[in-house]
Chains A and B, each alone.
Chain A
Amino acid sequence: MGELSAGEPVIATRALTKRYRGGQLAVDGLDLTVPAGSVFGFLGPNGSGKTTTIRMLMGLIESTSGTATVLGQPMPRATRAVLPHVGALIEGPALYGFLSGRDNLIRYDSADPAADPRTRKARVAAALDRVGLTAAAGKKAKAYSLGMKQRLGLAAALLQPRRLLVLDEPTNGLDPQGMREIRTLIRELASDGTTVFLSSHLLDEIEQVCTHAAVMTQGRLITQGAVAELSAGARGRLVVTTPDPSEAARVLKEQGVGDVVVTDDRVTGEPPDRDLADVNAALVTAGVRVRGFTVERASLEDAFVALTGEGFDVAG
């Protein structure tokens, strides 16, 4: 297949829509653009249409209307040309429990007609090594923990050098150490030039590894763009913890803090433009006993809540 021309997105959808047979609108007019070389975070609550979108991009389900191109070619028409260049982890790993971890990878690799059988063993061993499963490669997959299954699923996506990796909730079921390892792996792959499309409901995960993000809710795309721009929309908040909240609120207002909110022993507000050390000094001078004084950084979560006006609950 031809190379992408410069600036052409790796994934592009136009008015992509999926209505299931029951009439439920799962994805509604999606216009998604994933730039080449990005680590693209695909965010949304459970049931927002993320997985349906990924399945349409991978040619597993057919769209009701609209178009999708992956690596510059139309899907699902070009699955045979496109998918050998794409590694995917969709809705968790699925394995043959009666086969060993290694044999599972051999089976998935055999399914790809573009995979060279002469290098199969070496590529399987390299993929196992990359996700830290070499020691458990001979064990039957049904004896694997959820985290090990997740790693094996990732290994299947890494059997060949890929131009695009689609990872649906890749750190699901992993312990904190495992999550760190996977994030490091994603950064490594991205630095090799692989575009990574990462769906997650963990906002800090997206914030830590992604350069770009899109937010979906109830089948619609609310926003997409560079992560820095998205979270810049929401500013950080000054948080003062004190046993004297009402006095603290009065002093903070005097000091130019906007939108002061008191909840129990926490007083929060929008930080003023002046040096915060002076604000703290003013509190102490006024006799307010200060336990804590911090600025909570604006997170993607703040941006998300600001955008959707809702928390991260399951969509009805």
Chain B
Amino acid sequence: MSLAENAGAVRPVSPLWTFGLLRSELTTTFRRWRTLALLAVLAGVPVLVGIAVKMETSDGSSPGGGGGGGPAFISQITNNGLFLVFTALAATLPFFLPMAIGVVAGDAIAGESNAGTLRYLLVAPAGRSRLLLTKYATVVIFCLAATLVVAVSALTVGALLFPLGDLTTISGTQISFAEGLGRALLIALAVAASLIGVAALGLFVSTLTGSGIAAMATTVGLLITVQILDQIPQLHALQPYFFSHYWLSFADLMREPVYWDDLAKNLGLQALYAAVFGSAAWARFTTKDITA
């Protein structure tokens, strides 16, 4: 067999093989019990919101008691189940979604370092830049998957508990249900993109420490701190630079016509965070002594 003869000689290497690591990374991440548990929690939020709204409005009153409390769009759910998608995303974006991202991103490098598997990946040789890029790509894909889990769960619950149909935008105009679905998908993408900054921050923290738990806790801690600081009026000048500042801009996709300013600012800010913390993570990881 020529195969056996070739084994010892020069092996032709296909550039496509480099993506084997990404595939391995994705299957490893999504087969972990922890990842599945995070996704299950995220899928549970729309179920809880849906049931709560259904129970509260079963006597005919409007949810939130007319006081305008609760997440965005909550008062519209009883008219149209599709609004549960927007409400669920608005409810999970401030904490549940970024926390899940923080866990996965924080553990990305530090967890491998903690388990000692990092040294074997590097002598394989995975290549430091390639490994870091693969990890970041996996976290970004997880952002998308987590957001879609919330959206799909919300759509399912909304369709089961409430009527579906044409909907009214924030601007007061009517759009068809099909277009509403399209807007929902756009909103899910905008929410997933909002998490890119946290993902880069978490990955950077992950290259600083050899403990997965410490990296996850730091990332989630930073997330909470930034959200609190974003509420303090005296920090007005700094707030536009907080990664969470424009998060709720996704609601502008429900205007007619769509109001793009804050959405664009949000995307720009996320790209800035990805560039800054991605570079910092790269600088740190490619020069680090791997002693674990």
A residues apposed to B, CB below 8 Å: 55, 58-62, 79-80, 83-84, 86, 88, 90-92, 94-99, 106-117, 119, 156, 161
Contact = CB atoms under 8 A, between A and B. Distances in A.
Given A79-B125, A111-B125, A113-B13, A61 B120 contact: no
B289 interface: yes
A117 B124 contact: no
Interface of B: 3, 7-8, 11, 13-14, 17-18, 20-21, 23-24, 28, 31-33, 115-117, 119-127, 130-131, 287, 289-291
A112 B32 CA distance: 22
B24 A60 contact: no
Contact of B124 (A83, A94, A99, A116): A83
A106 B11 contact: no
A126 B31 CA distance: 25
A179 B222 CA distance: 49
Contacts, number: 99
B290 A106 contact: no
The 9 closest A-B pairs by CB, nearest first: A94-B116, A110-B24, A111-B124, A83-B125, A61-B289, A111-B126, A110-B20, A60-B290, A112-B124
Nearest to B116: A94
Contacts of B17: 113-117
A13 to B, nearest CB: 17
B125 A84 contact: yes
A110 B121 CA distance: 9
Contacts of B291: 55, 60-61
Nearest to B3: A119
22 contacts: A61-B289, A61-B290, A61-B291, A62-B287, A84-B125, A90-B123, A91-B119, A94-B116, A94-B119, A99-B28, A99-B31, A111-B24, A111-B121, A111-B125, A111-B126, A113-B21, A113-B127, A114-B11, A116-B11, A116-B14, A117-B20, A161-B7
B209 to A, nearest CB: 15
Contact of A98 (B3, B14, B33): B33
B117 to A, nearest CB: 5
Contacts of A55: 119, 289-291
A204 B189 CA distance: 63
A112 B126 contact: yes
Given A84-B125, A94-B117, A95-B117, A161 B8 contact: yes
Nearest to B131: A111
B24 A156 contact: no
A116 B14 CA distance: 8
Contacts of A79: 125, 127
A61 B130 CA distance: 18
Contacts of B116: 91-92, 94
Contacts of A113: 13, 17-18, 20-21, 126-127, 130
Contacts of A115: 17, 20
Contact of B24 (A61, A90, A107): A107
Nearest to A86: B123
A220 to B, nearest CB: 20
Contacts of A109: 124
B289 A62 contact: yes
Contacts of A97: 115
A302 B291 CA distance: 33
Given A60-B289, A113-B17, A114-B13, A108 B120 contact: yes
A80 B3 CA distance: 23
A108 B112 CA distance: 12
B123 A83 contact: yes
Contacts of A156: 120
A96 B127 contact: no
A270 B32 CA distance: 64
A304 B20 CA distance: 46
B122 to A, nearest CB: 6
A46 to B, nearest CB: 15
A55 B120 CA distance: 11
A61 B3 CA distance: 36
A58 to B, nearest CB: 5
Contact of A110 (B11, B14, B21, B31): B21
B17 to A, nearest CB: 5
Contacts of B31: 98-99
A108 B287 contact: no
Given A83-B124, A88-B120, A97-B115, 7 more contacts: A60-B122, A84-B125, A95-B115, A108-B120, A110-B24, A111-B20, A161-B8
A80 B125 contact: yes
Contacts of A61: 289-291
A177 B291 CA distance: 32
Given A62-B287, A156-B120, A94 B115 contact: yes
Contacts of B130: 113
A58 B123 contact: yes
Contacts of B33: 98
A84 B125 CA distance: 7
A58 B122 CA distance: 9
